[in-house]
Amino acid sequence: MGMNPEEIEMNQSLSLAALASLAALGLAACASNPPQTASSAPAQSAASRKQVCIDTYRIDHTQVVDDRTILFHMVDHSIWKNTLSFPCPDLKFQGGFLYSTDIDEICSNLQTIRVIEQGGGPLLGAVCQLGEFTPYPPPKPVGG
């Protein structure tokens, strides 16, 4: 049994209304948790899932600690640790990665990085998801 034209139109209207409601809920969720920049973000607990973004022009250099941890050394001498969502194959071994963004910041849990494989010219390796950014205290001097 098929539906008559009025039933089809009513089903389409209900589907569009449901889709509009979901979109409105998504926008409301984004508005209630705006991203924080690293320069204004307070120290956060591991349980906190607020969005932290760091300005790319403030990055002095990066340090790959292991296949899941990257330290972002900032020009103001602060350090932000990113714990990737999952281990990134060959990240520590290769030691290099690249990222691409259309804006001047990278944000926790949003961007991906790409491992740069060395040998016979740079090749692109695994694509890995960035995870949480957390403030990272530098090691304390010995005897201090």
Q: pLDDT digits over 9-38, tens only?
A: 434 333 333 333 333 333 333 333 444 444
| CA dist., res. 134 & res. 116, Å (int) | 24
The pTM of this model reads 0.62
Domain annotation covers residue 143: no
Nearest to 135 by CA among 83, 63, 64: 83
Nearest of 108, 106, 65 to residue 87 by alpha carbon: 65
One domain for residues 43 and 105: yes
Range in 8-17, 115-124, 125-134 the model is least confident about: 8-17
- Full domain range(s) for residue 13: 1-32
Count of structural domains, the chain = 2
Residues 11 and 48 in one domain: no
44 and 27, same domain (yes or no): no
Assess whether 79 and 128 both reside in one domain.
Answer: yes
Residue that is written with structure tokens 């060395």 in the block = 118
* Contact criterion met (CB below 8 Å) for 108 and 99: no
Does 23 share its domain with 42?
Answer: no
pLDDT at residue 96 in the model: 85
Co-location of 93 and 28 in the same domain = no
* Cβ atoms 115, 88 nearer than 8 A: yes
Whether residue 21 is found in the same domain as residue 40:
no
For residue 142, tell me if it sits in a domain: no
Which residue, among 125, 123, 121, has the nearest Cα to 112 in the 3D structure? Answer: 125
Q: What is the pLDDT of residue 125?
A: 86
Same domain, 85 and 129: yes
The reply to whether 59 and 14 lie within a common domain is: no
pLDDT in tens, 65-91: 999 999 999 999 999 999 999 999 889
Q: In this structure, is residue 18 part of a structural domain? A: yes
Domain membership of residue 141 (yes or no) is no
